[in-house]
């Protein structure tokens, strides 16, 4: 087995364990765990959405992103990371996620520093939410999108990345 294939398989296993280890639907993820989850999706266009329960524009765009993922699957994968505080998982984030966005594959950052998670794809992130990254099939950032966008705007940007 080639090294790249081995690393991809390991990343897929880690990502699967993070997702299925949590029966509340949202698992904590570290920067390394997010990198592994993204690596496991190589070959697809990944839409990485940074959001928070208190971010109204985030909450407006998530249903559109989920819909686009359904429309364009399996070529497009949506992964979210809630940027709420890690200690709010049980009190706020998991119940909120379960109630409003149960079909949205999302994690909650385990890192105390916001930049630690974002730096996986963007070392220059400016802490604006929502921020969505389109990653090409090779895993590299194709586009950073800040601020809420409509279904049509996202659809066009993602189609261009395909």
Q: What mean pLDDT value characterizes the chain?
A: 88
Q: Give the single-character DSSP code of 91.
A: I
Question: Does the 3-161 domain belong in CATH 3.40.605.10?
Answer: no
Separation CA 137–CA 39 (nearest Å): 10
Torsion angle defined by CA atoms of residues 110, 84, 79 and 99, in that order, rounded to the nearest 10 degrees? 120
Separation CA 57–CA 66 (nearest Å): 15
Q: 92-117: per-residue pLDDT in tens?
A: 999 999 999 999 999 999 999 989 99
Torsion angle defined by CA atoms of residues 79, 95, 91 and 108, in that order, rounded to the nearest 10 degrees? 0
Q: 46-101: per-residue pLDDT in tens?
A: 999 999 999 999 999 999 999 999 999 999 999 999 999 999 999 999 999 999 99
pLDDT band (50, 70, 90) for residue 25: confident
Could you tell me the pTM of the whole model? 0.85
Helix (H, G, I), strand (E, B) or coil at 161: helix
Angle of helix 31-39 relative to helix 3-20, nearest 10 degrees? 120
């Amino acid at each position: 087995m080639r090294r790249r294939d081995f690393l991809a398989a390991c990343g897929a296993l880690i990502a699967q364990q993070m997702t299925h280890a949590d029966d509340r639907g949202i698992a904590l993820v570290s920067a390394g765990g997010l990198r592994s989850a993204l690596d496991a999706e190589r070959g697809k266009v990944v839409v990485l959405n940074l959001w928070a329960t208190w971010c109204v524009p985030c909450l407006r765009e998530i249903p559109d992103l989920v819909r686009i993922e359904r429309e364009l699957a399996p070529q497009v994968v949506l992964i979210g990371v809630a940027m709420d505080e890690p200690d709010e998982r049980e009190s706020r984030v998991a119940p909120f996620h379960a109630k409003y966005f149960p079909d949205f594959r999302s994690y909650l950052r385990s890192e105390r520093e916001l930049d630690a998670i974002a730096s996986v794809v963007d070392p220059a992130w400016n802490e604006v939410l929502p921020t969505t990254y389109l990653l090409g099939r090779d895993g590299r950032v194709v586009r950073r999108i800040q601020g809420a966008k409509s279904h049509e705007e996202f659809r066009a940007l993602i189609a261009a990345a395909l």
